[in-house]
Amino acid sequence: MSEYVDNGVEQTKGNPLLGKHVLWFIQSTLDPIGSKAIMPAGQTGGDMTIGGDTIDEQTKSGRIVMPSTNEDSVDLENYYVPGDRTVDVIKDSKHNGHQVKTWGVYIDERMAKIEKDDEGIEHQVFPAVFGYGVVDELEIDDSDDMVSVSYTLNILDKFKDGTFPLTDEQLAVLKELYDFERPGEKTGDFGSVEDDESGTSSPRVESVNTTGTTATVEAE
């Protein structure tokens, strides 16, 4: 009689991750070292697929199934906002056969960890995936509603896991459209030309410095 085995089960309880806590960044592979990555404005969706083919054969002893290839991809959607370079980068990459770097970052505070740099300084980081993508298709919908942009990036090899450093201040910039302001501090509607040219516009991502599979956000 075989030995009795009961190793129990593992269960996680809690609220699920919200879609708005997953943000995607892109960067053209033509950009020189030290260039900024882009956070597409008005992100509405990011459907990541971890896919691939399998080898499936029947033998006299039964069915054999083995992994074959990786075919990861991500479908991204956002609204078109004047000044956002996302469409230009994706369109240029599609027309001229260039690749696009992409990062998907999970910015739920429950997933945050602390890492130390070479000087022993602690930094808050969040789990992220990174990949080189080839643009499959770019679609711009300019119907009666807001102009929307959707595109698919087919990932070379497979997504690579890494971390993405973000401070609490940077998180606030990524999650909120604008900060508190006092009467008379600004003029015009949010996102208006007057606001953009006043020099006191809402907090925004100034740059995302990329190194390998990680990136650092600079905000103002």
Nearest Cα to Cα of residue 28 among 19, 36, 40: 36
DSSP letter (8 states) at residue 89: H
What percent of the chain lies above the pLDDT cut of 90? Answer: 66
Q: What is the model's pLDDT at position 173? A: 79
Report the DSSP beta bridge partners of residue 124.
Answer: 114
Would 204 be classed as within a structural domain?
no
Question: Which structural domain, as residue segments, surrounds residue 26?
Answer: 19-52+65-167
What percent of the chain lies above the pLDDT cut of 70? Answer: 87
Q: What is the model's pLDDT at position 174? A: 79
Q: Give CA–CA dist 193/205, Å, rounded.
A: 18
Average pLDDT, integer, range 104-111: 94
Mean per-residue pLDDT over the chain, rounded: 86
Q: Give CA–CA dist 89/98, Å, rounded.
A: 10
Nearest Cα to Cα of residue 219 among 175, 184, 180, 163: 175
Q: What is the model's pLDDT at position 153? A: 97
Q: What is the model's pLDDT at position 210? A: 54
Would 6 be classed as within a structural domain?
no
Would 187 be classed as within a structural domain?
no
The answer to whether the pTM exceeds 0.75 is yes
What beta strand segments (E) does 71-213 contain?
73-79, 99-106, 113-116, 122-141, 148-155, 160-165, 205-211
- Token reading at 217: 């956000």
Q: What's the N-to-C CA distance of the chain in angstroms?
A: 69
Average pLDDT, integer, range 94-110: 95
Q: Which CATH number goes with the domain that contains 43?
A: 2.30.110
Would 181 be classed as within a structural domain?
no
Q: What is the model's pLDDT at position 198? A: 39
Q: Express each pLDDT in 9-57 by its tens digit.
A: 999 999 999 998 999 999 999 999 998 889 999 999 999 999 999 999 9
**CA dist 4 to 7, 8, 10, 204, Å?**
10, 12, 19, 59
Would 3 be classed as within a structural domain?
no
Strands 214-219 and 113-116: unpaired
Q: Number of structural domains, the chain? A: 1
- pLDDT classification of 130: cutoffs 50, 70, 90: very high
Would 122 be classed as within a structural domain?
yes
Would 174 be classed as within a structural domain?
no
Would 145 be classed as within a structural domain?
yes
